Structures are given as C-alpha cells and as structure tokens.
Homo-oligomer: A and B are copies of this chain.
C-alpha cells in the first residue's frame, strides 16, 4: 500500500516528535540510526517533510530537525500525502484503471471497507498521539 519511503517518513516524523521535550535539534545521522534507515535516503525524506512543513529544520551548527507543539496535531495522513499522495486510497484492489461502484471488480465491496479502514488509521491518528506512546515506551520504531 504505502511505499518504503513513506514508512521511513512516518518513523522519522514520529521519532522527531517523540523528542519534542528535549528541546534539542536532531541530526540526520541520529534520526536515521534511531529509525533503522539509510542515512542519505533519510536525509532526502526529511527534506521532503520539511518542505511540507510536517517538521522544521535549521542549518548550521546546532541545527537539525525538530517539531513545534502545533505539529503534534498533524494527522498521519498528511505524511502519506506528502510522500505517496492520496490516490492510493482510490485504487482498485486488483489493478483496474478505475475503482467504481457501478463497474466494480470482484473485490470491490470487501476491498473498499479495508481501504477505508486504512485511511481511517492515518486520518484518526496524529503525530502527537503516536509520539506520546513512543515516549512512554509502549511502542517502538525499530526492532530489537
């Protein structure tokens, strides 16, 4: 469904948000390490998130990536939109050019339910909600 890049993006944004209280800017190097992603590629993704104002950045010494309180209200669907776009939520489950109620594929009814379920996960959860779970140690961003 969502691309590998988008998964990195979500992990990165959540990691940065989970450090909001430390009031320190994070380097690409640290972020990439903490989310278990390649460094140079993570850099590209962070640039993208910055352009979309999902996170902030400053250059130079003591610079890096960070979020403000306002960013915590952003739903995760905004990240998906920034990286993959939203058309994935309109695609047919077995690749017909158009997903349509009046010209449906055999999966259509079942698939629509699932697809909307996925959309809901991204829409109903914010960066703040998930980053809070990370802070408390309930959830994690990389495997052991």
Minimum C-beta distance from A123 to chain B (A): 12
Chain B residues closer than 8 Å to A117, beta-carbon distance = 113-114, 117
* A121 and B130 contacting across the interface, CB-CB below 8 Å: no
Question: Of A44-52, A57-65, A135-143, which stretch is located at the interface?
Answer: A135-143
Interface size, A (range)? 35 or more
Q: A110-B121, A121-B114, A134-B106 are in contact. Are A96 and B10 (CB under 8 A)?
A: no
Q: How far is the CA of A107 from the CA of B143 in the complex (A)?
A: 14
Contact surface of A with B, Cβ cutoff 8 Å: 1, 4, 7-8, 10-11, 14, 36, 93-98, 100, 103-108, 110-111, 113-114, 117-118, 121, 125, 130, 133-134, 138-144
